[in-house]
Amino acid sequence: MRQAVGMDQGSSYDADIDRVIVSEEQIRDKTVELAKQVAEDYRRVDGVLLVGVLKGAVMFMADFARAMGRNGRSVEMEFMAVSSYGQRSTSSGVVRILKDLDRDIAGRHVIVVEDIVDSGLTLSWLLKYLASRSAASVEVVALLRKPDAIKVNIPVKYVGFDIPNEFVVGYGLDFAERYRELPYVGVLKPSVYARA
């Protein structure tokens, strides 16, 4: 019998992974839990606007928005694309807007959806930017955070997992644009960097 793609089969990238940090199941459960919490906190707020930060947040944004919907909460979705890492594995600290918001967010209740808070530099810049566009409120939901890597103190109200200070890939997160499609988050084998 033919198997559906991705069912009961590993990813072609599995061999490059040294260790799984957050499993597919853990991501699924945590996304449901976070969405429940956010839906409850925003129960009196009309027109919640999720702003996904491309490209890294693409998987989490899709799953989080669906989980909000299952909690009876409608959301609107916007995307920004910014880049501070480029081909490198440390933040340059210089954030470039690759794609801006498509509409006015003045007076809107915004929830920024991020895959990871690492140095915090991207989010710190983004929060100032959204405030300058006169959002009524801005909170952040981030699937991952590296407490030992934070360089700037930023308020992140909703966090999925605190993880060690190691470069991770998967579930949207890339190394040189690869590994985003892995369904879990893991650390690459040192040999992968050696051949990069």
Tokens of 180: 């985003």
Contact 71, 36 (CB under 8 A): yes
What residues numbered 39-78 form the site for ligand PRP, per CB under 6 A?
53-56
Contact with ligand HPA (CB under 6 A) among 17, 21, 168, 192: 168
Write the interaction track for ligand PRP spanning residues 91-120; mark x where CB under 6 A is met and - where it is not.
Answer: x----------------------xxxxxxx
Residue 21 binding ligand HPA, by CB under 6 A: no
Among 51, 118, 140, 180, binds ligand HPA (CB under 6 A): 118
Contact between 106 and 91 under an 8 Å Cβ cutoff? The reply is no
Among 35, 38, 121, 187, binds ligand PRP (CB under 6 A): 121
Lookup: tokens for 175:
């190394």
Residue 186 contact, options Mg ion, ligand HPA, ligand PRP, none, Cβ 5-8 Å cut-off depending on partner type: none
**Interatomic CA distance for residues 35 and 18, integer angstroms:** 30
61 binds ligand HPA (CB under 6 A): no
Q: Single out the catalytic residue among 16, 63, 115, 118.
A: 118
Length of the chain: 196
- Known catalytic membership, residue 8: no
Query: Could you say which of 83, 109, 178, 183 contacts ligand PRP (CB under 6 A)?
Result: 83
Q: How far is the CB of 18 from ligand PRP (least distance, A)?
A: 20
Measured from the CB atom, the residue of 21 and 39 that comes closer to ligand PRP is 21
List strand residue ranges (DSSP E) for 23-120, in order: 48-54, 75-83, 96-99, 109-117
Report whether 80 contacts 54 (CB < 8 A): yes
DSSP conformation class of 175: B
CA distance 36 to 74: 13
Nearest-CB residue for Mg ion: 85
* Residues 6+ away with beta carbon under 8 Å from 12: none
Tokens of 90: 């440390």
- Contact residues toward ligand PRP (CB under 6 A) are 53-56, 83-85, 91, 114-123, 174
- Contact residues toward ligand HPA (CB under 6 A) are 85, 116, 118, 167-169, 173-174
Catalytic positions: 118
